[in-house]
Amino acid sequence: MPVYNAALFLDRAIQSALDQPQVVELIAIDDASTDGSERILSAWAEKSDRVIYLPAISKEPQRAAAARNRGLAVATAPFIAFLDADDYYLPGRFTRTEAYFKAHPEVEGLVEPVEVVYEGNEIVQIQKYPTYSCRLNMNTWSHLSYDDLIAPGLQMNGLTVKSFVFDSRKWFDDTFFQLEDLNMVRHLLFQKSIIHILGCKALPVATYVHHSSNTTYRSEEKQNYSAHIESYWIEKMGKNSANRKHRLRLFYRYVIFKYQTASWARWKKLILYPFLFLFEGVKKKKYLK
């Protein structure tokens, strides 16, 4: 659990994790908080031997990817799950998860539904991504492939993986200040990890809280990193001709994200985008063949 200025939410998040009997350790990593979060974490670590508190290592935030890597470096449990400091687990978070791993020992990771709550505490939807899981629209498991994950993302609070998939201890790319989670899961799928996903009609396992301090509200930054991640994967997959369909889909998203701007009227986008696609296509020609 990376923590940055989450004092208002921390007690609820930590308690929701400790309420799960399967949780043997909660690794909370402070990322240079300035709102008293570090005092809350320290108090919890003194109160519970299941809470492992890693203090900040810098006066400046290193962001979530670097914090997650610090946590992975000290994790000892055979399974890894994630929880953002302003979100919380629902009762029985790992009951279904535990049963499924026991029944399917070959599976390396599970993605389960997460509900979304806005600041007014009104549940507005069961998490609608990955859209693949909602097209199933049923209470069933299915295999998650790289193709399914190209367009949508997923919510990290619903992900559980076996710890050996993180044997490199550097699975989160800390050059990504956003979307490091999507990048990590793409790596898992690219390397043929067996990940199953539960259809969105199933009961959620966690709650994602939307509020004005979410990093996802930094829309311009998110667009920049969205373009960066698509460019990265176009080039990474360019060595395999069998992935051309995927690369073209990623290329479309790359151009849209790179040049998405609210100041452009609809007519301007219709006129300029064909030239932008051509311009970027020439630059990335060797990866799109």
pLDDT tens per residue, the chain (289 residues)?
A: 999 999 999 999 999 999 999 999 999 999 999 999 999 999 999 999 999 999 999 888 888 899 999 999 999 999 999 999 999 999 999 999 999 999 999 999 999 988 888 765 555 555 544 555 566 677 888 888 877 767 666 788 999 999 998 876 568 888 877 888 888 888 888 888 899 998 878 889 999 888 666 555 566 777 888 888 889 888 888 876 667 888 888 898 899 888 887 667 777 777 888 899 999 999 999 898 8
Tokens standing for 54? 């890693």
- Domains annotated for the chain, with CATH where assigned, are 2-217 (3.90.550.10), 219-288 (no CATH)
- Our separate counts of H helices and E strands in the chain read 11, 12
Contacts of 9 (CB under 8 A, 6+ apart): 85, 86, 87, 88, 209
φ/ψ of residue 42, rounded to 5: -60, -40
